[in-house]
A and B are shown apart, each in its own frame.
Chain A
């Protein structure tokens, strides 16, 4: 994690903002994947 943070370009404030953006994007992507995989567990039980 520290290495990834250090690899981000720019001064510290820019690095922090970039890190936050990356974390948010990763979380959204993770939830999207979870939602997709979740349909195999339970898709709501609709007929048709």
Chain B
């Protein structure tokens, strides 16, 4: 009985904290690698540098988007800045992802308990190319057969919910209208969480999340990765928490970024 208890305790400690050590070191290494990679791409491709101006997303007290300031310049009537300038390699870092709404809520909670602001710089996760077991231990992974974030179509990104620092642990707190910010070598792409009911037939869900920001499907629901008109980001993780029985899905649409004007046929970003 004592041995069984010790085994269970060690197992849980390893899963909940031990696995995070590997992810922490991988993320730190990847951050500097990514920063070098971005600088290199923007140096050799001036058109990428021109399109990669910083975007500031202004949020209200509840973490809802108010406006996008200093949006990247529109690519009027020209081709989108494609990935040829910024090739991605299997298992390599290529982008970062942030959830400003979740950061705002964390800050509010921190202030309430009197420990000040926690997410001063914003918690961003380095994303890697590929969804192998090894890759996902390092951070969120992009499904290789889908377009990259910021490109036309449906970019699919998966991440752990409970172990390996649990980058997608709080996806169930997202609701319609919440921003998701992805930074790639070609610039900052701002996505907005959409109500799944407006995007996908309601009879496809196993369950619809409270707040209307997510839905659950079986792990084999490959239709989630199907191409879509416009530019979309689909995030997938395990559901319910502490179980791999289902998948929790968040769908978000591009509202600003270097390729937005081209993809949506507008004259301004």
Contacts and interface: CB of A to CB of B under 8 A. Distances in A.
Interface of A: 30-31, 34, 37-48
Given A34-B11, A46-B158, A46-B219, 11 more contacts: A30-B10, A40-B244, A42-B160, A42-B161, A42-B164, A44-B136, A44-B238, A45-B168, A46-B131, A46-B236, A47-B224
Interface residues of B, number: 36
A42 B247 contact: no
Closest 7 pairs (CB-CB, A-B):
A45-B237, A44-B136, A42-B162, A43-B244, A45-B238, A46-B158, A42-B163
Contacts of B220: 47-48
A45 B158 contact: yes
Contacts of B164: 42
Contact of A45 (B10, B14, B242, B247): B247
Contacts of A40: 243-244
Contacts of A37: 11
Contacts of B239: 45
B221 interface: yes
Nearest to A33: B11
Chain B interface SS verdict (over half): mixed
B165 to A, nearest CB: 11
A41 B242 contact: yes
Contacts of A47: 143, 156, 158, 217, 219-222, 224-225, 236, 247
A40 B162 CA distance: 11
Contact of B236 (A30, A34, A38, A45): A45
A32 B166 CA distance: 20
A43 B219 CA distance: 10
Interface in B123-166: 131, 133, 136, 141, 143, 156, 158-164, 166
A16 B143 CA distance: 48
B19 interface: yes
Contacts of A46: 131, 136, 141, 143, 158, 219, 236
Nearest to A45: B237
Nearest to B244: A43
Nearest to B135: A44
25 contacts: A38-B14, A38-B15, A38-B19, A41-B238, A42-B15, A42-B160, A42-B161, A42-B238, A42-B242, A43-B238, A45-B159, A45-B161, A45-B236, A45-B237, A45-B247, A45-B248, A46-B143, A46-B219, A47-B143, A47-B158, A47-B217, A47-B220, A47-B225, A47-B236, A48-B219
B222 A48 contact: yes
Contacts of A34: 10-11, 14-15
